[in-house]
């Protein structure tokens, strides 16, 4: 076994590998860029080596520097994590040639699966289902019908040079195939000057389901069940679970056996993943093979009780798999939510900056620990007070839960999201909460188009319906009563001027447009020692019990005998006196005041926000890489104004109307904050 390994990565995956290495008694070497000097993975490792400047092309992607760091520190092996150089055939070859072990598959396996066309050909030869199709140009509509019949309806008729939805038709019968071919060909000729058309099987309501495989250097290959990864936004996975709520045992076995056949065909030695597209009739077809550890590997670890990183290391050291396919467990249900530094209410734009508060939910299962399961786990590479840099991807944590069945896992995940405190930057937690509460998700009725179908116009606060908003109002009143009781108990108050507690309150549900909701609330039977009270909101009665302190952001307790977890804190950006309540993705800003104060508040005039229509504002924190206009320049609507870069994304800002530039308010190379004015137009 290795005595020391180097992790050629950063963030949560580097921390994940360090956890297993520590368990195995292996020393670790971290590598880092200038932006990651204070990063968590650098702190956790036994040694750390600086690679270079922040951009990954000058640090984490420079193979020579990584290999030199391994040699200088005496590391015997390199774990590439995922991303960066993890599926780089040349890097794997170089590591082996330098006399080091690559903790991953052999370079020839990476090469075989790296070419999409070649990998599909190899998969077909190995007996793996590939999407049936006709890839040669088709000359006549009659030939198109004949081919479509051979493939089996429905089929997709596609222009060879197609794109943007042009030159694409779906046919369900001979008539549609005949007409679709003709119109598709004409459209392709007119749009692209290329009338070549081909046909392939159309997979209806496709799901993205992948099989985890594990192979050693002695010819043993196993499949470790499947992961359901269909909840995606712009082809990026958002929620993953194991097992899939969709496929049958027979389909699972058939997919697993085909994944093993493919792994054997390329002499696969490590953890890897074979991805399939699965139709609503449970037909499945090979997409690609990922020759590395997957982001979502923890859900497989939960249901199998196997540490995948440990087995990657053991296999790289030449060890033999000690289990057979019959030994592979499938216990309970696991779900993973990717917690990203992005603002779901601003079209998921990156959100960078300092983590003022970062308090994950209480963990009851941990990385590299296969003994403690059936709980909550957080994989992260950040810490409170740390910085989320703009140079790398937006994922700040993975939240994983393991329950006895899918319903319990969903409930655990909703509670864990409620307890996850992130302040200083925006996160996608409200979006995750909305997905988990969606009736189609709960019922397991979804496919890869789920998010586009339900949130195609973007994500808004209204898209997070709360099952009982009056509970949030009751909770705000409960906390306010608790604070008044404490204030009244402070000694030394002047006679006649002491704090009066009172039982009647009005909760003012604040709205951005000034259309506030006024709700009378009665708080009675308050017992401070046990932290309980009866709260009446209209005709609804809430018996609340909570031991949480007023200083706690996360409040836990029971309401009408049922447990709850919520977040509540005083003060918001708009109103320092407001209470902000968050629960199940819903955020409510309110004032809890006496009935008389509520009457007076109604008389306050509404102050409209300033008109910023003359300005181009930065939609996200980032680096201003280009200013495309100058003062006095006439600009038309849709014309390029500025370019901002953050987290591997380049965001181009366009003028929303015709106008003349009055001032340029920011400089090229400047770091911007959200809503910072960049350009001002004349009135």
Q: Which residues have C-beta within 8 Å of that of residue 467, sequence separation ≥ 6?
A: 437, 584
**Cα separation, 389 vs 41, whole angstroms:** 14
Smallest CA-to-CA distance from 222 within 250, 263, 252 is with: 263
> Within a 10 A sphere around the Cβ of 218, how many other Cβ atoms?
11
Exposure b/e, 357-390, CB count within 10 A at least 16 = b = ebebbeeebbbbeeeebbbbbbbbbbeeebbbbb
For the chain, the C-alpha Rg in angstroms (whole number) is 29
Q: What ranges in 419-574 are assigned the alpha helix state H? A: 429-437, 439-442, 450-454, 469-488
Q: Which residue has the tokens 């004015």?
A: 677
Strands of 659-664's sheet, edge to edge?
615-617, 677-681, 659-664, 634-635
Alpha carbons 593 and 537: distance in angstroms, whole number: 15
End-to-end C-alpha distance for the chain, whole angstroms:
71
Write out the two tokens for 243. Answer: 């097992």
Helix (H, G, I), strand (E, B) or coil at 444: coil
| Token couple for 491 | 């000694």
Burial class (CB in 10 A: 0-12, 13-18, 19+), 562: exposed
Helical H segments across 74-199, by residue range? 89-97, 107-114, 116-125, 141-151, 174-192
| Burial of 398 from C-beta contacts in 10 A (0-12 / 13-18 / 19+) | buried
Phi, psi dihedral angles at 46 (to 5 degrees): -75, -35
Whole-Å CA distances, 644 to 7, 208, 234, 622, 650: 31, 32, 20, 6, 6
The number of angstroms, rounded, from the C-alpha of 419 to the middle of its chain's C-alpha atoms is 17
Nearest to 377 by CA among 441, 427, 420, 342: 420
Question: What CA–CA distance (Å, rounded) separates 195 from 179?
Answer: 15
Question: Which residue in 189, 184, 176, 188 sits closest to 145, CA to CA?
Answer: 176
Where are the strands (E) in 269-346, listed by range? Answer: 270-278, 284-290, 333-340, 342-343
**What single-letter DSSP state applies at residue 92?**
H
Q: What is the C-alpha to C-alpha distance for residues 173 and 154, in angstroms, rounded to an integer?
A: 7
Question: For the chain, what is the largest distance between any 2 Cα atoms, rounded to a whole number of angstroms?
Answer: 98
Stretch (H or E) spanning 214: strand 207-215
H helices within 456-581, ranges in order? 469-488
Per-residue burial over 636-666, b = 16 or more CB atoms within 10 Å of its CB, e = otherwise: eeeeebbbbbbbebebebebeeebebeebeb
Catalytic residues: 288
State the DSSP code for 36: G
Spatial contact of 211 and 223, defined as CB atoms under 8 Å apart: yes
Report H helices in 553-594: none
Beta bridge partners of 565: 556
Give every CB contact of residue 250 below 8 A, 6+ residues apart in sequence.
Answer: none
Q: Do 615 and 681 meet the contact criterion of CB atoms below 8 Å apart?
A: yes
Instruction: State the CB neighbour count (10 A cutoff) for residue 204.
Output: 13
Q: How far apart are CA 648 and CA 389, in angstroms?
A: 11
């Amino acid at each position: 076994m290795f005595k020391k390994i180097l992790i050629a990565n950063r963030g949560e995956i580097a921390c994940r590998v360090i956890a297993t290495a520590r368990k195995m008694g292996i020393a670790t070497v971290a590598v880092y860029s200038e932006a990651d000097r204070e990063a968590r993975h650098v702190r956790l490792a036994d040694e750390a080596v600086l690679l270079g400047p922040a951009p990954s092309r000058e640090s984490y992607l420079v193979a020579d520097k990584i290999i030199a760091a391994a040699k200088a520190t005496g590391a015997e092996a390199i774990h590439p994590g995922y991303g960066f150089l993890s599926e780089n055939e040349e890097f794997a070859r170089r590591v082996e040639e330098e006399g080091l072990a690559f903790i991953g598959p052999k370079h020839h396996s990476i090469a075989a699966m790296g070419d999409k066309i070649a990998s599909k050909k190899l998969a077909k030869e190995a007996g793996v289902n590939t999407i049936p199709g006709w890839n040669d140009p088709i000359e006549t509509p009659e030939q198109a019908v004949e081919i479509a019949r051979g493939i089996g309806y429905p089929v997709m008729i596609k222009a060879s040079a197609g794109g943007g939805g042009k030159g694409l038709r779906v046919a369900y019968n001979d008539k549609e195939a005949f007409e679709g071919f003709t119109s598709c060909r004409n459209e392709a000729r007119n749009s692209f000057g290329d009338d070549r058309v081909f046909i392939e099987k159309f997979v209806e309501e496709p799901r993205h389901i992948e099989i985890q495989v594990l192979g050693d250097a002695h010819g043993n290959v196993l499949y470790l069940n499947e992961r359901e990864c269909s909840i995606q936004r712009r082809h990026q996975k958002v929620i993953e679970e194991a097992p899939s709520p969709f496929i049958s045992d027979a389909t699972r076995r058939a997919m697993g056996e085909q994944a093993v056949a493919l792994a054997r065909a390329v002499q696969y030695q490590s953890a890897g993943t074979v991805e399939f597209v699965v139709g609503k009739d449970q037909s499945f077809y090979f997409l690609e093979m990922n020759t590395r550890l997957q982001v979502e590997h923890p859900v497989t670890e939960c249901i199998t009780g196997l540490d995948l990183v440990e087995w990657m290391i053991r296999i790289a050291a030449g060890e033999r798999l000690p289990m057979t396919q019959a030994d592979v467990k499938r216990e309970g249900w696991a779900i993973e939510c990717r917690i990203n530094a992005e603002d779901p209410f601003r079209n998921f734009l990156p959100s960078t900056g300092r983590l003022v508060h970062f308090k994950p939910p209480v963990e009851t299962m941990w990385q590299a620990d296969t003994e403690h399961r059936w709980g909550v786990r957080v994989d992260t590479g950040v810490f409170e007070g740390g910085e989320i840099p703009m140079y790398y991807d937006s994922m700040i944590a993975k939240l994983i839960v393991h329950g006895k069945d899918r319903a319990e896992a969903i409930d655990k995940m909703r509670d864990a999201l409620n307890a996850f405190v992130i302040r200083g930057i925006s996160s996608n937690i409200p979006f995750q909460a909305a997905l988990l509460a969606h009736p189609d998700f709960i019922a397991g009725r979804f496919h890869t188009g789920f998010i586009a179908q339900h949130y195609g116009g973007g994500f808004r606060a209204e898209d997070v319906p709360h099952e009982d908003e009056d509970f949030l109002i009751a909770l705000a009143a409960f906390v306010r009563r608790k604070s008044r009781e404490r204030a009244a108990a402070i000694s030394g108050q002047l006679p006649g001027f002491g704090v009066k507690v009172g039982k009647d309150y009005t909760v003012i549900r604040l709205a951005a447009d000034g259309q506030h909701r006024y709700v009378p609330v009665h708080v009675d039977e308050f017992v401070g020692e046990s932290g309980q009270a009866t709260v009446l909101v209209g005709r609804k009665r809430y018996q609340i019990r909570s031991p949480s302190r007023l200083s706690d952001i996360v409040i836990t307790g029971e309401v009408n005998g049922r447990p709850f977890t919520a977040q509540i804190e005083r003060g918001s950006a708009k109103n320092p006196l407001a209470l902000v309540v968050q629960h199940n993705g819903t955020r409510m800003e309110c004032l809890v005041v006496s009935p008389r104060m509520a009457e007076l508040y109604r008389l306050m005039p509404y102050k409209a926000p300033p008109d910023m229509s003359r300005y181009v504002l930065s939609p996200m924190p980032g680096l201003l890489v280009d200013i495309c206009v100058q003062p006095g320049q006439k600009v038309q609507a849709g014309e390029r104004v500025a370019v901002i870069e953050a987290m591997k994304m380049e965001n181009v800002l366009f003028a929303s109307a015709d106008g003349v530039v009055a001032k340029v308010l920011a400089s090229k190379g400047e770091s911007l904050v959200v809503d910072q004015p960049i350009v001002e137009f004349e009135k």
